[in-house]
Structure 1
Amino acid sequence: MSSYAWECTAGKELTWNILSLFTTSGMLFLEVSLIAFLLQGNYASGLEALTRTFAVSALIVGLDILLKAIYMFGLGIPLFIDSNEQQHHMKWSLWVVHRLVLTAVYGFILFMYHSKWRERLPARPAFYKYIVIMFTLNALALFACGLTVNGTDFGFWLYSTTIVCYHTFYLPLLYVTFLADFFQEDDLHLENVYYSEMKDAGFFDADWE
């Protein structure tokens, strides 16, 4: 429990709850935005797709924040503090539902990749790998929450491990999946431009006679 020493310090509970709420909501906003944008495929223009994506994401994340705020500040259930287990069952039941929804969404997208709707999704393998990773992570977290609801200590350890992995590797995963190729293509384009300019200037001309 040493990793929770700071948030369990007297007088820090409110600060920790607010910080954790907005941090997790920000991460969820990124997830929902990616899913909402991805599922639109090529059937919307750039501005239209972004507008629809942010509207859907704001609605879902707003409801998520409201529900968690009711649990924490209305019912007094410590969602992000693990030193108080008086509301153990209700707390972990909420996380079970939360992870069940995310697992179902990623599972549905995996199903789409193997169905007639595959053409609506990006054809690049990196997108498929991203969905597989997120489905696996959320399925593990769901399994861990189920174990914890039943009072299994291993479930709490497994859930904590998935949370640490999520917060540590999610942003690098986004970069590798969605941005790395873009920057590589941009660098390659610049190299081609420099090569063309040097060739036009005669730097590669040679007298073979």
Structure 2
Amino acid sequence: MPRRLLEGAMALAVTPDAANSSGSGAAPGSGPLWWVSDCHGAWYSLAVMLPSLAFVGFLAWQARRSFRRLSYGRSHVVVVAYYALLWAVALLNLLWCFLQAWQCMPDRAFSWNVLSLFTKSGMLFLEVSLIAFLLQGNEASGYESLGRTFVISGAVVSADVLLKTIYVFGFGVPLFIDADQGTGGKWGLWIIHKLVLTGVYGLIVFMHHSRWKDRLPAKPAYYQYVCAMLALNGLSLFGCFLIACGAGFGLWLYNLTTVCYHALYLPLLYVTFLADFFQEEDMLLENVYYSEMKDAGFFDADWD
């Protein structure tokens, strides 16, 4: 068992070329499950596919109740838009997870780059908007404050998309191919990207332990979310730095953080920021139903 776990962990660090050349020597694209094991290997693919599929299934299972809560609860339009955005990003992320083999297929390079650009930009938009929400602190008026963050988040993500588009389609940098191809510009950009996010999350943690603590939302779940994202981005930054220095372990660490991000970030976001909202809407909706039934005389017989 330990040997199998070790093999599964090391499979995360396998480059596409190595994955294609390993195994029984079958040609790429052969076998019933080639799209699972052809690129990074089965362990990597299953690690990103199963959690993302489970989360989309959970959203679909809760969709009817969630739509009812959003409509009857008179939710702010920003909350509705944020929930719709979560759905869109979750579906994009599901496609990204299931189409991992595209990054090892030269004829699918353009499609993979476009899919990766949209998926990562959507997830970054969610991440930046929540950072802006947290930095507003106690001045934020609940979920309605997210409306003021959409413009800022859109500007930040637009600049990020423009830069990545220039790198990928202008200079031909394989930014979304998770293999060490010796392109210093690629890993340099990811180092800057992760460094900015790590610095912002570190700033929020510092504020939590300083005299500015009262400016942040008091909910403990928000602080736990920030700590988790700080650790994830810090490890990813360290992995990118190791890759830039030529250390093979860095690719394993970077791929591990990529798996964690695409598999667990959206569920973490939902549990931290939206689950409580839907619970509050449930209570309000039950009160509305009770009032309507009481006005209609459904409980008059209880007093006879």
TM-score, normalised to structure 1, is 0.85
Partner of 1:152: 247
Provide the alpha-carbon RMSD of the alignment: 2.6
How far did 1:139 drift?
0.4
Distance 2:275 2:142 in 1: 21
Q: Please list every run of 5 or more consecutive structure 2 residues that lacks an aligned counterpart in the other structure.
A: 1-15, 17-38, 41-99
Distance 1:194 1:34 in 2: 32
* Closer/same/farther in 2, CA of residues 192 and 81 from structure 1, 3 Å limit: same
How far did 1:171 drift?
1.0
Q: What code does the residue aligned with 2:115 have?
A: L
* Closer/same/farther in 2, CA of residues 74 and 113 from structure 1, 3 Å limit: same
How far did 1:190 drift?
5.2
Give the stretch that moved more between structures: 78-87 or 62-71: 78-87
Preserved CA contact (<8 Å) 1:8 1:83: no
Partner of 1:24: 120
Q: 1:141 aligns with which of 236, 239, 242?
A: 236
* Closer/same/farther in 2, CA of residues 104 and 23 from structure 1, 3 Å limit: same
Residue 264 (structure 2) pairs with residue 169 (structure 1) = yes
Q: What code does the residue aligned with 1:110 have?
A: V
Distance 1:120 1:82 in 2: 39
After superposition, what is the alpha-carbon deviation per residue over 1:3-54, rounded to whole angstroms, capped at 9, x for unaligned? 3542221221111111101110110000100111221224356798444311
**What SS does structure 1 have at the residue aligned with 2:106?**
coil
Partner of 1:74: 170
* Closer/same/farther in 2, CA of residues 129 and 75 from structure 1, 3 Å limit: same
Residue 210 (structure 2) pairs with residue 90 (structure 1) = no
* Closer/same/farther in 2, CA of residues 41 and 193 from structure 1, 3 Å limit: same
Preserved CA contact (<8 Å) 2:133 2:140: no
Preserved CA contact (<8 Å) 1:37 1:53: yes
Residue 156 (structure 2) pairs with residue 60 (structure 1) = yes
After superposition, what is the alpha-carbon deviation per residue over 1:71-122, rounded to whole angstroms, capped at 9, x for unaligned? 11111111012457152x2111111111000000000001111112212211
How far did 1:186 drift?
3.6
Residue 205 (structure 2) pairs with residue 110 (structure 1) = yes
**What SS does structure 1 have at the residue aligned with 2:242?**
helix
Preserved CA contact (<8 Å) 1:99 1:138: yes
Partner of 1:100: 195
Give the fraction of aligned pairs with identical amino acids, expressed as a percent: 60
Preserved CA contact (<8 Å) 2:180 2:251: no
Preserved CA contact (<8 Å) 1:144 1:158: yes
Extract structure 1 runs of 4+ deviating beyond 4 A: 44-48, 188-203
Partner of 1:10: 106
Give the stretch that moved more between structures: 24-33 or 146-155: 146-155
Distance 2:287 2:260 in 1: 39
* Closer/same/farther in 2, CA of residues 140 and 17 from structure 1, 3 Å limit: same
Q: 2:132 aligns with which of 36, 39, 62?
A: 36
Q: What code does the residue aligned with 1:181 have?
A: D
**What SS does structure 2 have at the residue aligned with 1:180?**
helix
Distance 1:109 1:174 in 2: 17
Q: What code does the residue aligned with 2:151 have?
A: A
Q: What code does the residue aligned with 1:54 have?
A: F
* Closer/same/farther in 2, CA of residues 45 and 125 from structure 1, 3 Å limit: closer
Q: What code does the residue aligned with 1:41 have?
A: G
* Closer/same/farther in 2, CA of residues 199 and 51 from structure 1, 3 Å limit: closer
Residue 246 (structure 2) pairs with residue 185 (structure 1) = no
How far did 1:183 drift?
2.6
> What is the number of residues matched between the two proteins?
204
